Amino acid sequence: MNEIIKMSATTLAEKIKNKELSSVEVTKAFIKRAKETDPKIKAYISITEEYAINQAEESDKKIASGAETGELEGVPIAIKDNILIENIKMTASSKILENYTAPYDATVIEKLKKAGAVFIGKTNLDEFAMGSSTENSAFFTTKNPWNTEHIPGGSSGGSASAVSAMTAPLALGTDTGGSIRQPASCCGIVGLKPTYGRVSRFGAVAFASSLDQIGPMSKTVEDSALLLNVIAGFDKKDSTSINVPVPDYLETIKQDIKGLKIGLPKEYFIDGLDSDVKKSIEKAIEIYKKAGAEFVEISLPLTDYAVAVYYIICCSEASANLARYDGVRYGFRAECDNLLDEYQKSRGHGFGPEVKRRIMLGTYALSAGYYDAYYGKAQKVRTLIKQDFENAFKKVDLILTPSAPTPAFKIGEKSSDPLQMYLSDIFTISCNLAAVPGMSIPCGFSEKGIPIGMQLLASNFDEQTMFKAAYSYQQATEWHKQFPNI
């Protein structure tokens, strides 16, 4: 079992296809691992054992019969619990959806089923994906497998923790302001936010519709490319999906990076940056230089405004998106004598404190007399932030930054101060505002043994260059080959 759970998804897919391993054998190994470790880390809201074994048996039958197989035939994957799988419970880690069963598949789930993936469980998250630590789940806090006193990051903390703890070789997360990249950094795995519109959002619970994006979480860069190959592409069911060709990301991943120009934005290398993070990033830069990459100092001058702009936009969109949870159509319903009380009590009981905080902030920003001063102005500054990136990518091929200003902090350390919590996404937020792709890859450990992540950013729909640079770095280092002792 130990050998199986340490294998990459790419290796597992190959061995299952070649009949060196069966999908049932692999699936059972990961489920056994999940049952052993999840009482300590609480990555999963539900482990869908029976469902997964049935899928694995189907994959094995297909392979035995010589039928055509998918890219992920028989390979297990964990799914963040704000993405719909037909007939499986979907909670978004909220009491308001605690007993909700998905009536249809999200587009990414349809694609994964076609590719032969096996769904082994739904992972925990900050309620409605609102948070940076997975402490805002209505059910429990997920822990970091490297040190269970620390957060796994958020909001995709369950998915990050599951991959890091070897309870799944792959996972899906969603990223609105860093919710894939920041937990990937905290847990020492690879996390990718694709270009906005590259992956369909149909069937993912909406938080902030102009920012949300589904993406891969994996042990290796190659696994991330493999998973993006499967889930990327135009979807007419998603009005924000963009109809552009999807390249084979694995085809160019091993190309040389000599002469690649990488920008270092001076606004991301600030005095408050944790010393362990700074050292790890400096070492990563040296590794890139040895591979022939060239570094250029660049400026993203509106970085200081990103957090304020992000929280106005995301809270405003959350206020609109979460209006549908009224206790009438679906979800938790309070028993009351009149409709107004029913609305108020259903939402009051069903939503947690962080979700309520964001709804109130957003409703205020959208209210008469304040719309232009807050939401209108935030959208204008967002356009300027996007222009900052467009100008930068005229000079460089990629941008390199830390994924987070500090390694994962202790559980409870920032929960009483929402502003400090919001600032933990300071390096990831601009990427969503500008709609560009971003990836976090492991690049070291703090003195206390907590993983540190490095972020690569590319121009719109240029995930290929990002994969190439990330793969080159991973081939020159061993960080992705280290596993937590849990």
Sign of the alpha-carbon torsion through 323, 325, 328, 334: negative
pLDDT given at position 2: 83
Contact 472/290 with Cβ under 8 angstroms?
Answer: no
- SS3 (DSSP) at 25: helix
* pLDDT single digits (tens) 11-56: 999 999 999 999 999 999 999 999 999 999 999 999 999 999 999 9
Spatial CA neighbour of 47 closest among 36, 59, 63, 58: 36
Average pLDDT over residues 84-96: 96
Spatial CA neighbour of 480 closest among 225, 290, 220: 220
pLDDT given at position 234: 98
- Alpha carbons 189 and 174: distance in angstroms, whole number: 15
| The pair of three-digit structure tokens given for residue 347, joined into one six-digit string | 């939402």
Q: Is the pLDDT of residue 422 over 80?
A: no
Share of residues in the chain with pLDDT > 70 (%): 96
Buried b or exposed e, range 209-232, using 16+ CB within 10 angstroms: bbbbbbbbbbbbbbbbbbbbbbbb
* pLDDT single digits (tens) 186-211: 999 999 999 999 999 999 999 999 99
* pLDDT single digits (tens) 99-112: 999 999 999 999 99
* pLDDT single digits (tens) 287-309: 999 999 999 999 999 999 999 99
Domains belonging to the chain, first-starting first, are 2-259+396-481 (3.90.1300.10)
The residue behind tokens 């240029």 is: 462
Contact 217/428 with Cβ under 8 angstroms?
Answer: no
Residue 424 — very low, low, confident or very high, per pLDDT cuts 50/70/90?
A: confident
Contact 309/382 with Cβ under 8 angstroms?
Answer: yes
- Alpha carbons 353 and 351: distance in angstroms, whole number: 7
Spatial CA neighbour of 442 closest among 289, 264, 283, 231: 283
Average pLDDT over residues 252-269: 96
The answer for 97, left when phi > 0, alpha when psi is -120 to 50, beta otherwise, is alpha
* pLDDT single digits (tens) 136-175: 999 999 999 999 999 999 999 999 999 999 999 999 999 9
pLDDT given at position 332: 66
pLDDT given at position 393: 98
The predicted model scores a pTM of 0.95
* Residues contacting 481, CB < 8 A, separation 6+: none
Residues identified as active-site: 80, 155, 179
- Alpha carbons 267 and 262: distance in angstroms, whole number: 15
* Residues contacting 454, CB < 8 A, separation 6+: 280, 281, 284, 400, 401, 402, 403, 440, 441, 442, 443, 473
pLDDT given at position 1: 64
